[in-house]
Amino acid sequence: MNAPTFEKRTRDQMAARVARDIPEGSYVNLGIGLPTLVANHLPKEREIFLHSENGLLGMGPAPAAGEEDYDLINAGKQPVTLLPGGAYFHHADSFAMMRGGHLDICVLGAFQVSASGDLANWHTGGADAIPAVGGAMDLAIGAKKTFVMMEHLTKQGQSKIVAQCSYPLTGIGCVSRIYTDLAVIDVTPHGLKVVEIVPGLAFDELQRLSGVPLLA
């Protein structure tokens, strides 16, 4: 087999790519894990409101070492800061912001996304796995747009974009756009439409690697 002619996007490059699609003035929730990196790539001059489901809006960066206040944390329970103009609120209000469609964008990690935009990201379904769902199901269906960030393939080389999710579902038909280390793909009523492919990767090769038919 020939050496690949393309380079996969790194996690930071994926985050930077997602950040490009977040316009000024957006209310945004960044999920735990990979999506958290997006915050590092939002341009300083662009005002974006970051929401964290434990009850804050206008979330700022991590505090300096020694300045941590564990009454001021994010959904991953890591210490954060509040920007001037930021606000605290209780949990029912926080999830009203999601469920009520007030957030413009949420960015989530995923185990699998189906061709029709079903999302699986909360549980592997393993018999001995202790389940924990948190806000995943509320986030998936709540925002105006749900972006997923994930590696295109599992470590075993299987497509994480699938005809039907084999892992337990988080939400049905909720994903708007998929950002992988190989491509950006929109979920449309007609199917999965490829928006962008990393340089050097041909559409046919992307199609071969993907578990479902793609639209050019």
Partner 1 sequence: MIDKQVASVADAVAGTADGATVMIGGFGGAGQPNELIDALIAQGARELVIVNNNAGNGETGLAALLKAGRVRKIICSFPRQADSQVFDGLYRSSRLELELVPQGNLAERIRAAGAGIGGFFTPAGYGTDLAKGKETREIDGRMYVLEAPIHADLALIKAERGDRWGNLTYRKTARNFGPIMAMAAKLTVASVHEFVELGALDPEAIVTPGIFVQRVVKVARTATGPAGFRQAA
CA geometry: angle 50, 55, 61, nearest 5 deg: 40
Strand order through the sheet with 49-52: 81-88, 56-60, 49-52, 27-30, 105-109, 145-149, 177-179, 183-188, 191-197, 214-215
Whole-number minimum distance, CB 208 to partner 1, in Å?
31
Binding test (CB under 8 A) with partner 1, winner from 60, 63, 109, 168: 168
Q: How far is CA 22 from each of CA 50, 132, 210, rounded to the nearest angstrom? A: 11, 29, 26
Catalytic-residue membership of 68: no
21 binds partner 1 (CB under 8 A): no
- Specify burial of residue 113 (Cβ count, 10 A radius: 0-12, 13-18, 19+): buried
Task: Tell me the per-residue interface mask from 59 to 78 with partner 1, x by CB under 8 A, - otherwise.
Answer: ---------xxxxxx--xxx
Query: Which residue in the list 53, 67, 68, 205 is annotated as catalytic?
Result: 53
Whole-number minimum distance, CB 193 to partner 1, in Å?
24
16 binds partner 1 (CB under 8 A): no
Helix, strand, coil tally for the chain in percent (to 5): 20, 30, 55
Bridge partners for 161 per DSSP: 113
Binding test (CB under 8 A) with partner 1, winner from 25, 43, 131, 200: 131
Which region, judged by CB under 8 A, interacts with partner 1, from 7-15, 41-49, 138-146, 189-197?
138-146
The footprint of partner 1 (CB under 8 A) covers 52-56, 68-73, 76-79, 82, 88-92, 94-95, 98-99, 123, 128, 130-138, 141-142, 168-172
